[in-house]
Every structure is written in structure tokens, then in C-alpha cells.
Chain A
Amino acid sequence: MSQATQPDERVREMSKLRKALIRPELGGIVGTVAVFTFFILFAGNSGMFNAQGVMNWSTVSAQFMIIAVGACLLMIAGEFDLSVGSMIGFAGMMIAVFGVTLEWPMWMAILMTFAICVAFGALNGYIVVRTGLPSFIVTLATLFILRGFTIFIPQTLERKTIIGGIREAAEGDWIAPIFGGTIFQGFFQWLGDMGVIDVFQRGNKQGQPVVDGIPMLLVWAIGLVIVGHIILTRTRFGNWIFAAGGDAQAARYAGVPVNRVKILMFMFTAFCATVFAVCQVMEFGSAGADRGLLKEFEAIIAVVIGGALLTGGYGSVIGAALGALIFGVVQQGLFFAGVESSLFRVFLGVILLLAVILNTYIRRLITGER
């Protein structure tokens, strides 16, 4: 053991810069820089980077971010949730049914929807933990069950699959603006008055800025990213999330309540899906039975672009947020750049592949996997 006090000559010294660069988010950072460079070059003059354009792609990115945060923490805890998209449709429909069809006050409809959806998340988690089945299968079942209810309930009650009138029903409510409103309106008015951002030239909105404030959707996205990041990296619970996904059995032997962690993460994913749904119905003023289709995959793609390991135990919320940003910027940017919209999927596939290859390389550097 005498030689062991000297540094192992086979461990290479790493430079400070290399150490600072080699982190789970690196793939996401590189991707973000690449995507922005690309669109500044090819769509710089298209209005993509004026106030309206920025608001356009940041809103889309924020939507992805909200569901990506939940999917990210759940994936790090070692599980998947394929029912996110259906949950979005279901949650929106529940708000419409409670708030419009049953004419409950909107705050009650929203809180009830949160309770039901988070309970479904808990059920997902409970079944996965209890049966030991892959969450892939369990939540695939939930995907169909929830989508089925989302179509069946409005069909039965209203004989249609789209329920409108939500904005009217939410008028004057105290919870609804937390999801549907905008903040810093005065600041944006001032920016408009100063000529920093454009104002409407005619019509009944004449003199108002084209962007009237920061949508609450964006506030939720940033808030969830910050909270998710702090929980994951700075708390005891975060350590349990990593441990549960890294090796559930080893974590159990060390006294980590793995089942509780996993169920809570399923609940959090459902919570994020519901936040998405409430923001969406407040914006559209209606709930549709086909809302949220394929959102589960978009969330998972954002998380994977952001450097998380599909099999769990490794990842970063900041990375997932960058993945969502890349996703949103590419989707909207191609429109600004005038690229045929069907090519969006080609772009997405290429980015996904490149990101996963880069992330795998980075992860091997960090964890010593072979």
C-alpha cells in the first residue's frame, strides 16, 4: 500500500478547461450554439430575431421545456412515461368539462384537474414499482386509457370532441392568470413606446407593443427548470433520484427509498403535463381530444438531446432545457428560413443522432464506461 499514496501514474491529469467542459450539458450547449449560429446565418433577416420572432420560438421551446423537466427527472430515476401526451389532452379536457360543461369556478376546475392527473401519475408509478414491469409498457397502457377517456367524456357529455368557452369561463378567476396571463406588460409597453420593439400601427390595438409581455408559460418553464435543477443537484432527494436510476438494488441496500422516489417522479411528470395542458387551454380557449399527440416523444427527445442516459442514472435538467430550446428553435426556425416544413423531421432526426453520439462520447469520458 506504500505506493498508493502517490498519484496513480495511469490517471491522466486533466486541465481546468477540459474539466469545466466535460459535463453532461456539453452536448446541449454545443447543439444550442450550432443551431443559433445556423439560423442567424440563414434566417437572420427573416424576423426570427425581432421581438415577435423571439417570442414565437421561445414560447414553443418553453412548451417543450415544461414537459422535458418532468421527463428528465423521471428518466434519471430510471423510468419512462409514455402517457405524457395523453395526459396533456386529458387534463385539458378535464378543465373544459369541469369549468364549462359543469360550470364549476375555474380555480376549482384547475385544482381538481391537477389532483386527478397527479393521482394518475401516482398510479402509473405504483403499478411500475409493484409489478416490476417496464414503465414503457405500463405507461403505454395509460397512454391509450387516457386518450380513450379524453375522447369518450366530451362525446358523451357534449356530443363533440372540442369544448370551447374556457377563456370566458376563466374571466376574473384568480388561478387562471397564473397559467394564461402575461407579466411585465408595463415594461413591454415602455419598450414599445421607446421604439425598441414594434407597436401595432392600426386597428384597435394601435400603439400597443406587438409583444405585450412575458407569457406565464415561459415563467413556468424557467421556474420548473430552476426548481428541477436545484432538486436534482443540490438536495438529498436529488441524490436519491440518481441512485434509483443508476442501480435500484444497490440504492435499496444503501437505504434509499427507491419506490417512493420513482412514484414521486411519475407524479411530478404528470404535474408538468398538467401545467402544459392548463397553459394551452388558457391560450387557445378550448380543449380538444387530440391535444398533446406525440408530446411524450418530443419530451424524451429533448431530454436525450440534453445528455440524459435512456437507461437512467445520468442526466441534467439544464441539458434537457437546452434540448427543448434546440427543438423549439429548429421547429420554428425552419419556418422562418423558408425551408419546406416536411424537412423538419429530417432535421430533427439528424440532430437527435448527432446529439446522442456526442453525448455518449462525453458520458464515457466522465463515467469511465466502456
Chain B
Amino acid sequence: MQPIIEMKDIQKHFGSVIALAGVTVNFYPGECHCLLGDNGAGKSTFIKTMSGVHSPTSGEILFEGQPMQFGDPRDAIAAGIATVYQDLAMIPLMSVSRNFFMGNEPITSKFGMRFFDHEHANETTMSEMRKMGINLRGPDQAVGTLSGGERQTVAIARAVHFGAKVLILDEPTSALGVRQTANVLATVDKVRSQGVSVVFITHNVRHAMAVGDRFTVLNRGKTYGTANKGEITPEELQDMMAGGEELATLEGSLGGTV
């Protein structure tokens, strides 16, 4: 199968700081690819390179086999690469349906003028939310009244509805409780089964193991390679993220719950 995105030997320097020192990863349709790494490992820089926020200092990005140059995030969105940021996914003061169609407002014409098609927006929002298992009081309910997990789910549903082929999730579960995390992971599973390539960024190994098909660990701007599900244990992933052994003893005394 052809990868949807190939990141080849990506380097990114910020002045004298080397954020990415040659990272190569392939992403396939219909898989959930977990990108693990501790703080400062280069996860954020890497996904921002994928989503057009940064352009790489060197290296090549192939999208569906073609070399791609993203000038800004809009190019990436247009190509089908959507990013859901942890806290910037939704606008809490606005209604769910206004949020859902933000930047993609449906238009209807009346009296020769172009209006926001609230009817269509409301219907679509309600049905998409039902599919994702979220019950809204109404499409005009403000996003601020939703839980963190529901907000992530709305953002994911939105990205998929508008034709995302690659969905980058930036630490979607890091601020969530147990049940909300389970809901978001279930959403990821649904989206993956629709053939979307999910890039799941996290530093939580247990969340990664729950949905991941393949795992790539970043450490200090480098990758330790990619492992398939079943070929690697959570403990090994944890050690790779920490970049050494010192966490192993600590983990023992914590009963392996980190």
C-alpha cells in the first residue's frame, strides 16, 4: 500500500537549535500512527511541519506520492491534512453548529444575496454529533457547555466531515478524564475505520497502546524507528521515550502506572 504521507529525513533548525535532526516516517491510510515522545522531543515541530505551519530546513514531504510544499496551514487543509489542536480546537462562546462550519460555512441564496445556511448547518451538525455519540440539547448549544472530550470529538468529526485524509491529533487526551479519554479513543477508532490516516501525538503510552497500529518514538529530534502493534511492549516504549534507564526503576516503585 502506498503511504499517504512520506516524511523523508526531515530536518528543522530554529537558529542554532536543532529541533528535528532527520526524521523519516511513513503514514498509511486507515491506520492510527502514534507519535510518542517526551516534552521537547520535537513532536510539535514535526506535526507543524506536516501541517504547513513550518517548512522544513531540509528533507522531503511526499503527499500521495507527490512532493509537497505547504506555504501555510490553509494549503495543508485544502490538500486534506487536518490538525486538531489540544486547546485551540473550538471556540467556547460559539454554538456547536457555528463551530462545526467555521471556515466552511454553507451558503444559501435569497433575494440574490448570500446567507449562512443555518438550516443545513444545524441538521448536519446534529446528525454528525449523533454519529459520534454526542447528544446535544440543540445545534445552538455553546461549545463551552461541552466537556473537553466532547470538544475534541466535535473537532475530529468536523475535520472528517470536511474531507480530511490525514488527521493529526495533538495530545487529544492529555487533559481528559478516564471516561472522556475512552470516548475520544473510540472516536479515533471510528475515524480510522473510515480509511482516514490518524496521526496521534501523545506522551501517554497506555493511550497509545489502546488505539495505535504503529508507534514511532521521537527523542531529542531523532526517531528510534517505527514499531508495529504487538512487536513492542509498553515498557519498551516508555524507556525509549525517556531515552534511558533511569525511569525504569522509578516506574517499578510506582507499579507501572505512569
- In the assembly, what is the distance between CA of A369 and CA of B114, in Å? 32
B133 engages A239 (CB within 8 Å):
no
Interface segment among A65-73, A195-203, A249-257: the answer is A249-257
Q: Which residues of A contact B133 (CB under 8 A)?
A: 1, 4-5
Q: Which residues of B contact A14 (CB under 8 A)?
A: 137
A255 engages B103 (CB within 8 Å):
yes
- In the assembly, what is the distance between CA of A236 and CA of B118, in Å? 10
Q: Which residues of B contact A366 (CB under 8 A)?
A: 142
- In the assembly, what is the distance between CA of A123 and CA of B129, in Å? 42
Q: Which residues of A contact B144 (CB under 8 A)?
A: 367-369
What does the 1/0 interface line of B25-54 toward A look like (CB < 8 Å)?
Answer: 000000000000000000000000000000
B45 → A minimal CB distance (Å): 17
Interface residues of A in 1-53 (CB under 8 A from B): 1, 4-8, 11, 13-14
Q: Which residues of A contact B90 (CB under 8 A)?
A: 250
A243 engages B116 (CB within 8 Å):
no
- In the assembly, what is the distance between CA of A93 and CA of B98, in Å? 42
Interface segment among B81-89, B212-220, B242-250: the answer is B81-89
B191 → A minimal CB distance (Å): 13
B142 → A minimal CB distance (Å): 4
- In the assembly, what is the distance between CA of A260 and CA of B100, in Å? 21
A367 engages B142 (CB within 8 Å):
yes
Contact of A4 among B94, B101, B114, B134 (CB under 8 A): B134
A79 → B minimal CB distance (Å): 16
- In the assembly, what is the distance between CA of A13 and CA of B141, in Å? 12
**Which of B83, B102, B104: most chain A CB closer than 10 A?**
B102
B183 engages A4 (CB within 8 Å):
yes
A370 → B minimal CB distance (Å): 9
A235 part of interface (Cβ distance < 8 Å): yes
Chain B interface, number of residues (Cβ within 8 angstroms)? 34
A253 engages B137 (CB within 8 Å):
no
Given contacts A4-B134, A247-B91, contact A253 B83 (CB under 8 A): yes
**Which of B77, B93, B103, B118: most chain A CB closer than 10 A?**
B93
Interface residues of A in 270-302 (CB under 8 A from B): none
Q: Which residues of B contact A313 (CB under 8 A)?
A: 91, 93-94
Which residue of chain A has the shortest Cβ distance to B186 in the bound complex? A1
What does the 1/0 interface line of B58-96 toward A look like (CB < 8 Å)?
Answer: 000000000000000110010000010100111111100
Which residue of chain B has the shortest Cβ distance to A12 in the bound complex? B137
- In the assembly, what is the distance between CA of A13 and CA of B137, in Å? 8
A177 part of interface (Cβ distance < 8 Å): no
A114 part of interface (Cβ distance < 8 Å): no
**Which of A11, A239, A243: most chain B CB closer than 10 A?**
A239
A314 part of interface (Cβ distance < 8 Å): yes
Contact of B85 among A8, A236, A253 (CB under 8 A): A253
B97 → A minimal CB distance (Å): 10
B145 part of interface (Cβ distance < 8 Å): yes
B116 engages A256 (CB within 8 Å):
no
B174 part of interface (Cβ distance < 8 Å): no
Number of chain A interface residues as a range? 20 to 34
Given contacts A6-B135, A235-B114, contact A1 B88 (CB under 8 A): no
A234 part of interface (Cβ distance < 8 Å): yes
- In the assembly, what is the distance between CA of A6 and CA of B105, in Å? 29
A239 engages B98 (CB within 8 Å):
yes
B140 → A minimal CB distance (Å): 9
Which residue of chain A has the shortest Cβ distance to B105 in the bound complex? A236
A82 part of interface (Cβ distance < 8 Å): no
A238 part of interface (Cβ distance < 8 Å): yes
Contact of A242 among B98, B114, B130, B146 (CB under 8 A): B98
B115 part of interface (Cβ distance < 8 Å): yes
- In the assembly, what is the distance between CA of A249 and CA of B173, in Å? 21
A243 engages B91 (CB within 8 Å):
yes
B88 engages A253 (CB within 8 Å):
yes
- In the assembly, what is the distance between CA of A239 and CA of B133, in Å? 26
Q: Which residues of B contact A234 (CB under 8 A)?
A: 115-116, 118
Q: Which residues of B contact A252 (CB under 8 A)?
A: 73
Contact of B114 among A236, A251, A314 (CB under 8 A): A236
- In the assembly, what is the distance between CA of A254 and CA of B98, in Å? 12
A254 engages B102 (CB within 8 Å):
yes
A165 part of interface (Cβ distance < 8 Å): no
Given contacts A1-B186, A367-B145, contact A251 B115 (CB under 8 A): no
A309 → B minimal CB distance (Å): 7
B11 → A minimal CB distance (Å): 25
A105 part of interface (Cβ distance < 8 Å): no
Contact of B115 among A4, A6, A235, A314 (CB under 8 A): A235
Interface residues of A in 302-337 (CB under 8 A from B): 309, 313-314
In the assembled complex, 13 residue pairs joining A and B whose CB atoms fall closer than 8 Å, in A order, are A4-B135, A5-B133, A5-B135, A234-B118, A239-B105, A242-B94, A243-B91, A247-B92, A250-B91, A256-B103, A309-B93, A368-B146, A369-B93
Given contacts A236-B105, A246-B92, 18 further A-B contacts (CB under 8 A): A1-B183, A1-B186, A4-B133, A4-B134, A5-B135, A8-B135, A235-B116, A239-B101, A242-B91, A243-B98, A255-B104, A309-B93, A313-B91, A313-B93, A313-B94, A314-B93, A368-B144, A368-B145
Which 9 A-B pairs rank lowest in CB-CB distance, beginning with the nearest?
Answer: A368-B145, A255-B103, A4-B133, A246-B91, A254-B103, A236-B105, A368-B144, A367-B144, A367-B142
